[in-house]
Amino acid sequence: DIQMTQSPSSVSASVGDRVTITCRASQGIGSWLAWYQQKPGKAPQLLIYAASSFQSGVPSRFSGSGSGTNFTLTISSLQPEDFATYYCQQANSFPRTFGQGTKVEIK
Amino acid sequence: EVRLLQSGGGCVQPGGSRRLSCAASGFTFSSYAMSWVRQAPEKGLEWVSAISGSGDTYYADSAKGRFTISRDNSKNTLYLQMNSLRADDAAVYYCAKDNLPVSGTRYYDYWGQGSLVTVSS
């Protein structure tokens, strides 16, 4: 199985900050990667797929990059509604696997 | 409007069975792969199973031999039959729709509201 490792596990940031979350795959997955946002008690929401493609309706402050084994989710200017947990997910092979999550907290 | 309405959660004894359902509307159900993803209390997301529009199925090792995913395209409904349930199967189970048709079950753009399954004697 492909292991997905996110860093950091949590980050404290202020509104307006630039936040970067990384995701590393245990083997190459091409660009088969998605990023999700999850708020407490809610279902996850797809932000980015195919490593860098925007899901419809997602604010442009979210962006994704990377290929192979190293990927990044960037929030260019953190907004109050962005405080949540973020997960990466590989879609290269079965079983699909998620990272352990990165919690973005208010500083 | 895409909607995924889940039902079937609840409490079950260890070794027992439960069937989850996910009724879909607002899109051509038969054209999209569907998946189940679960989340244990205070834990991360875990992919469980997926089924293509034509019925090809895929399972996590934790689900193989105990869970069965199926779909009824005439009823626009996805199912997850869970047998031999264990304490570590306790979680919120989400059904999820692929973001692109006939894409091979990769990314999930719409999710159900979640069904809580507790396993306890």
pLDDT digits (tens, 9 = 90+) for A46-76: 999 999 999 999 999 999 999 999 999 999 9
pLDDT of residue A3: 98
Q: Closest approach of chain B CAs to the CA of A43, in angstroms?
A: 6
Q: Which residue in the block uniquely carries the two structure tokens 């997301």?
A: B45
Nearest to B117 by CA among B4, B49, B16, B34: B16
B60 is written with which tokens? 């996590």
Question: Quick check: B104 pLDDT over 80?
Answer: no
- Name the token pair of B29: 């159900």
Check A44 against B61: CB less than 8 A apart: no
Q: In this predicted structure, what is the pLDDT of residue B90?
A: 98
Distance, in angstroms, between B50 CA and closest chain A CA? 9
Dump strand ranges (E) for A8-84: 10-13, 19-25, 33-38, 45-49, 53-54, 62-67, 70-75
Contact between A13 and A107 under an 8 Å Cβ cutoff? The reply is yes
Which of B76-106 are b and which e, b meaning 16 or more Cβ less than 10 Å from the residue's Cβ? bbbbbebeebeeebbbbbbbbbbbeeebebb
C-alpha distances (whole Å) from A13 to each of A9, A52, B32 are 13, 23, 38
Q: Which residues pair with B113 in a beta bridge?
A: none
Asked if the Cβ–Cβ distance from B45 to A34 is below 8 Å, we say no
Closest by CA to B67, choosing from B48, B82, B51, is B82
Task: Say if residue A107's pLDDT is above 90.
Answer: no
How big is the A-B interface in CB pairs under 8 Å?
57
Residue A100's closest chain B neighbor by CA?
A: B44
List CB contacts (< 8 A) between B61 and chain A: 1, 95
User: What are B54's two structure tokens?
Assistant: 């034509």
**Segment (H or E) for B47:** strand B45-51
CA A40 to chain centre: 16
B9-23, B50-64, B90-104: the lowest-pLDDT one: B90-104
Distance from CA of B110 to the nearest CA of A (A): 7
C-alpha distance across the termini of chain A, in Å: 36
In the predicted model, is pLDDT for residue B40 greater than 90? Answer: yes
Contacts of A43 in chain B (CB under 8 A): 94, 111-114
Tell me which chain A residues have a C-beta less than 8 angstroms from the C-beta of B35.
Answer: 96
Categorize the per-residue pLDDT at A106 as very low, low, confident or very high, splitting at 50, 70 and 90: confident
Return d(Cα B18, Cα B11) in angstroms, integer: 9
Please report the pLDDT score of residue A2 as a whole number: 97
Give the pLDDT score at B27: 96
Q: What percent of chain B has pLDDT over 90?
A: 91
The pair of structure tokens assigned to B35 is 């998946």
**Is a pLDDT exceeding 80 seen at residue A8?**
yes
